[in-house]
Amino acid sequence: MLLIVGIMLGEAGALWSEARKHDREQELLKVGSKMRLAIGQYYKQTPGPIKQYPRSLAALLKDDRFPIPKRYLRQIYSDPMTGQKNWGVLESPSGGIMGIYSLSGGIPYKVANFRPIYKLFENKKSYGDWIFAYSPELDI
């Protein structure tokens, strides 16, 4: 009897763990999208004709390029997969941060049926391969 209860508890724990991972994955998609949109706003609102990406993620919290600073994010979100506020950053060839990605090497559950902007996430092998980048050429 005790063995059966132990097996059932083990199965319940595994199911809970899987559900929690799925929730964190969905949160990564949400948070990554917010960060990508903030990078895009920073880029598009650059004063003058030569657009710039933020030099740091902190610049999304307070953009001092204006007399009255602009805020594109209220906070730098934690990576739901690692629980840390550290993100990998994708540098623009012209300088600045054009995207972020999770530092988690975890394997995604979701491998298909992404929004068009994230079509490149399909069949990726780790969360670190999901790069949330803003590109003016792909401004969707």
Domain ranges of the chain: 2-138
- Which residues does 65 contact at the CB level (< 8 Å), separation at least 6? 46, 47
pTM of the shown model = 0.84
- pLDDT at res. 3: 58
Start-to-end CA span in the chain (Å): 57
- pLDDT at res. 21: 83
User: Is the predicted pLDDT of residue 73 greater than 80, yes or no?
Assistant: yes
pLDDT per position as a tens digit, 8-58: 455 555 555 677 888 999 999 999 999 999 999 999 999 999 999 999 999
Hey, which residues does 15 pair with through a beta bridge?
Answer: none
- pLDDT at res. 87: 98
Q: What whole-number distance in Å separates Cα of residue 88 and Cα of residue 93?
A: 16
Average pLDDT, whole number, for the chain?
89
Q: What whole-number distance in Å separates Cα of residue 137 and Cα of residue 112?
A: 23
- pLDDT at res. 13: 54
Nearest to 85 by CA among 103, 70, 72: 103
Helix or strand run (H / E) with residue 133: strand 132-133
Tell me what percent of the chain is helix, strand and coil, each rounded to the nearest 5. 40, 10, 50
Better pLDDT: 110 or 9:
110
- pLDDT at res. 18: 72
What value, to the nearest 5°, has the Cα angle with vertex 124 and ends 121 and 126? 115
Better pLDDT: 5 or 103:
103
